[in-house]
Structure 1
Amino acid sequence: MTRWERGRLVAMTMFVLGMTGPTLAGDMAAFNPLGFSADGNIFAFEQYGIQDGSGFPYSEIFVIDTAKDAFLPKTPVRVRIDDEAAGLSQARAKAASDASPLLNQYGLSDHPGHLVAFNPVSEIEAPAHQLGYRAFPAKPAFGEPYRLSLTETEAQPSDACKDLGTPIKGFRLSLTEKNGEAADVTLHEDGKAVPSSRRCPTGYRIGGVMTFHPMQGEPVHVALVLVLSYGFEGRDGRWIAVPFRP
């Protein structure tokens, strides 16, 4: 029996028994920032890993217009090698090659920005739905803090998710502190339905923040939200980037 077949058997068993909690390790995608354009209007990142259930390596590259909060045409670039014996490096190299014309066009590797906060799902001290940070990585610290808050919301399940026996979630992301001052700014709010690309989302976590300060133009912050969804071997994790200019 292949790993894919074992994964399907596990998922079917969990469904039949009504087990909605994680019993095995899911697939938490790794996050790799790829940089900003010189003006901060473009941001790109990669997520990659080994797909649970199948054992197939994958890499996905997202290129985002930070002003419109929208993907650039012909993106995301998604690569999956449908072979359990394939190495993760194969999927990552193929995705990098496919995306390279666009990444080079905007000179993203020349402007990496700063990962000023990171809160992976394995972190046990930091709360999942709150994250405070400063916009500059420096010691001694300078600049006043920013703070994000995430609220999970009820979402209408798609046909693919309605029989799983677990609530489907959307989210609202807010900026509650801006440069040391109290704020109440909604950065993102889902409607009743969530995008099908999230599969069957059961929860969210504020996973980190990227910042970039262009030579000319306003600073750009990018909130990183980890989407937890129903998978074959537990909960899977995929990344969403929410850009904003505070």
Structure 2
Amino acid sequence: METKSHRCSFSIFLLAFILTAGSGHLFAGDIASFMNLGFSPDGSTFMFGQYGIHDDSSKPYAESYIVDVAANEFVPGGTAQFLSDNAAQPGQDGIGALFNLVGMQHEIAQNYEIDHLRSGRLVYLYINGSEPRRQISFRDFNTGNSYTIELVQNVRGGDENPEAAFHINLNSVSTDGTRSAKTIGLPNYYRKGINDYNLKQVLVSPDEQSVIIVVEKILDDEDGRYLRYMVETARLSN
């Protein structure tokens, strides 16, 4: 039987947990969440976003990006940011900021024919807490194509001024034996305030001709973990 005092103690504990979680300080640091926002029907453009709550101000924020898949570049005017004027309320995770931003970007998304229902197919997903892998190999069972993706990074600057660069070696083998090898990314572009990268997701476009590689940008220091997302894209056919 649960006594009144036990119920009271549990209620106080639960309230404290909710308030802590809602403030964005349950885990030290500033960790964004990734959101797949869809492809164009022909797979030529891809939109994604990220959102969260700033650790220092507790304000919800969001960013959105539209990518030219073949060029592996943002389309003109395809990047946008949103920061709330007010701090997050208990229980919020910041996704409302992304909803606001997607509404603000509706016109340009429409110009590039982004369809939020066309999310492609997820063929690899890193599970939080598992051991990060610099190289992954897998088969897409829908097409029979096989992939090997290797993330190669260089870090410099030490703990005080870290910065890191990376590139990705992408090798694929189609069902007819055709092989493709591509190097994507900027191996000599060092991003300040980053000391690690991680392969997060791999998506195949709706037309089966492109891959989207989602990469985590990570800074681990005494204040906790800072995490943001970027993508590298490539057409599988020349």
Distance 1:148 1:85 in 2: 38
Shift, 1:65, TM fit: 0.7
Shift, 1:232, TM fit: 7.7
Deviations 1:212-236 (A, max 9, x none): 142xxx7010111111025783121
Name the structure 1 match of 2:118.
111
One-letter amino acid matched to 2:190: V
Gaps of 5+ in 1: 8-23
Name the structure 2 match of 1:96.
102
Q: Which stretch shifts more, 82-91 or 205-214? A: 82-91
Structure-to-structure mapping, 1:11-160, within 5 angstroms: 25-85=28-88, 87=92, 88-105=94-111, 106-120=113-127, 122-125=128-131, 127-135=132-140, 143-154=144-155
Contact in 2 for aligned 1:200/1:230 (Cα 8 Å) = no
Distance 1:52 1:149 in 2: 32
- Compute the RMSD of aligned alpha carbons: 2.8
Which ranges of 4 or more aligned residues in structure 1 deviate by more than 6 Å?
180-183
Distance 2:69 2:62 in 1: 22
The correspondence for 2:195, drawn from 186, 199, 202, is 202
Change (3 A) 1:187 1:89: closer
One-letter amino acid matched to 2:107: P
Q: Which protein is bigger by CA-based radius of gyration? A: 2
Shift, 1:170, TM fit: 0.8
DSSP-derived class of the 2:78 partner:
coil
Contact in 1 for aligned 2:119/2:206 (Cα 8 Å) = no
TM-score, normalised to structure 1, is: 0.72
Q: How many aligned positions are there?
A: 206
Contact in 1 for aligned 2:65/2:78 (Cα 8 Å) = yes
Change (3 A) 1:133 1:44: farther
One-letter amino acid matched to 1:208: Q
Larger RCO (CA within 8 A; separation ≥ 6): 1
TM-score, normalised to structure 2, is: 0.75
Name the structure 1 match of 2:8.
none
Change (3 A) 1:28 1:133: farther
Instruction: Choose between structure 1 and 2: higher strand proportion.
Output: 2
Name the structure 2 match of 1:185.
182
Gaps of 5+ in 2: 1-19
The correspondence for 1:237, drawn from 214, 227, 236, is 227
